[in-house]
Amino acid sequence: MGDRWQQGAVLDLEITGLNSTGEGVGRWQERVVFVPDTVPGDRIQTRLLRIKPTHGWGKLLQIEAASPDRIQPACIVADKCGGCQWQTVAYPEQLVAKQQQVVDALVRIGGFGDARIDPILPSAPLNYRNKATYPLGCSETEQVQAGYYRKGTHKLINLSRCPVQDQRLDPFLAEIKQDINQQGWPIYDETTQRGALRHLSLRIGRRTGQVLLTLVSTRPRLPELEVQAEAWLQHYPDLVGVMLNHNTKQTNAIFGATTYCVAGQPYVEEQFAGIALRVGPTNFFQVNTEQAEQLLAVILAELNLQGSERVVDAYCGIGTLTLPLADKAKQCLGLEVSKDSVQQAQTNAAVGGFSNVDFQVGAVEDLLPQVSEHLGAAPDIVVLDPPRKGCTASVLRALQALAPAQIVYMSCNPATLARDLKILCEQGSYRLRRVQPADFFPQTAHVECVAFLVR
């Protein structure tokens, strides 16, 4: 058995599942092998690239027999582009893998062997993204390109349409590059750190059709940008604003700290769960509007608010959840570290005529211990929607000290969710009532869930 378990060896495998990073999973004599670009049910040949005693990583050499769940991708560059991992996996099989991801994390990391995990909420599998941000580059013939990086590289795959984004954004993706080309604005080069334009970002209101276009540049000004921006507004009836974001940092962060409105308005209007929202170019807003609404409906049904509750919404962004909760509760307080998002949230509350909601700027761990003073009483419910890394230990301690009757924990990472739930249920006096997974990111391995805890 040992002689074939070595780097470079070629193995025959059957793929039986998908892991949380999107790779196919197969077994070879008690060992687990992870192979990208495979589908459960595929019988394949793989070459081992890296090995450990119990598991290894392989490269797909050939498909001996294709799975019935292997489909023709909706995207012509699906095999090259690093944006989606699962374009070749039939949508029902994607949902199975995501449900399993949540179950595995809760059992393995959280120790929740008997937790109630409801069936995942499916999404429209394509054309769902309300926002897309594309790195810009140059072809060998100096033509401006926009697209996503090839898997595991910084080589740009030029796109003129993308099947997971709202189709109404495709014309912008195809045509704006040509205008940038004609203007002669220099494209930023990562290696030489010269040039100006780094990214093209597009955001659309799903309900309103309004589009916001943002260019990310190392320079705070571009020649003739105002003239070009006005021409774009004339040419595209749905375009409501053109923005320039200034980012000089050598960083993976797409946006810099300052954004200028070049022409039009600095936000798109959106209807979310019947509430009017304004969303700026750099504000966090769930990329799958309809799924966020579906999950909100689950949260509202579970909480069954009677109009007497005090609710804290931690990591509240622009008030996407805060305002629908405030609509049914006595009082709501949103906590958010981004000053821009809080300003937008306050505007959204004012536009919607909400008088029972307030927002505070700062780190959640700093603000959470003082919310009772701010509300005039302890909160009945705390809603959490932290970033992928989950809650810090100090946030969890503050939660246990506050001891709200209910905690609603929304998460885009089942592993950190399971870790935090375990702490709240072991060290606090909480019980996990149920978990509702939801697919916010079809064609990728990401999964969202909401967990309901009661004291």
What CATH number has the domain bearing residue 33? Answer: 2.40.50.140
Cβ neighbourhood burial of 8 (10 Å; 0-12, 13-18, 19+) = exposed
Q: Nearest Cα to 243, choosing from 223, 220, 209, 271?
A: 220
**Residue range 205-228: mean pLDDT, rounded:** 96
pLDDT for the residue numbered 182: 92
**Residue range 308-317: mean pLDDT, rounded:** 97
Same domain, 207 and 316: no
pLDDT for the residue numbered 111: 95
Among 215, 243, 272, residue at a domain's last position:
272
Cβ-contact 279, 319 below 8 angstroms: no
pLDDT for the residue numbered 276: 94
**Residue range 139-144: mean pLDDT, rounded:** 84
pLDDT tens-digit readout, 65-120: 999 999 999 988 888 887 888 999 999 999 999 999 999 999 999 999 999 999 99
How many separate domains does the chain show?
3
Measure the CA–CA gap between 99 and 122, rounded to whole angstroms. 11
**Residue range 288-313: mean pLDDT, rounded:** 97
- What mean pLDDT, rounded, does the chain reach? 94
Residue 325 has pLDDT above 60, yes or no: yes
Same domain, 230 and 156: yes
Exposure class string for 350-368: b at 16+ Cβ within 10 A, else e: eebebeebbbbbeebbebb
Q: Which domain holds residue 209?
A: 131-272
Asked whether residue 88 is domain-assigned, the answer is: no
Asked whether residue 221 is domain-assigned, the answer is: yes
Asked whether residue 243 is domain-assigned, the answer is: yes
**Residue range 144-150: mean pLDDT, rounded:** 88
Same domain, 331 and 356: yes
**Residue position matching structure tokens 């100096």:** 142
Measure the CA–CA gap between 96 and 19, rounded to whole angstroms. 11
Active site residues: 412
What CATH number has the domain bearing residue 242? Answer: 2.40.50.1070
Lowest-pLDDT range of 141-155, 221-235, 250-264, 284-298: 141-155
What CATH number has the domain bearing residue 411? Answer: 3.40.50.150
Asked whether residue 86 is domain-assigned, the answer is: no
Same domain, 107 and 136: no
pLDDT for the residue numbered 107: 96
Asked whether residue 307 is domain-assigned, the answer is: yes
Same domain, 172 and 257: yes
pLDDT for the residue numbered 375: 92
Residue 308 has pLDDT above 90, yes or no: yes
Same domain, 27 and 154: no
pLDDT tens-digit readout, 394-406: 999 999 999 999 9
Residue 1 has pLDDT above 50, yes or no: no
Among 216, 246, 272, residue at a domain's last position:
272
Tokens of 110: 């959280």
The continuous run of DSSP H or E covering 211 comes out as strand 211-217
Same domain, 298 and 439: yes
Asked whether residue 71 is domain-assigned, the answer is: no
Measure the CA–CA gap between 365 and 391, rounded to whole angstroms. 9
Same domain, 260 and 340: no
pLDDT for the residue numbered 192: 87
Same domain, 329 and 219: no
Same domain, 248 and 316: no
pLDDT for the residue numbered 207: 96
Same domain, 416 and 328: yes
Among 65, 85, 110, residue at a domain's last position:
65
pLDDT for the residue numbered 2: 46
pLDDT tens-digit readout, 260-284: 999 999 999 999 999 999 999 999 9
Would you say the pTM of this structure is higher than 0.85? yes
pLDDT tens-digit readout, 117-130: 999 999 999 999 99
Same domain, 261 and 140: yes
Cβ-contact 46, 61 below 8 angstroms: yes
Q: 3: pLDDT confidence band, cut at 50, 70 and 90?
A: low
Asked whether residue 77 is domain-assigned, the answer is: no
Sequence-distant (6+) residues with CB within 8 A of 236 are 171, 172, 211
Asked whether residue 12 is domain-assigned, the answer is: yes
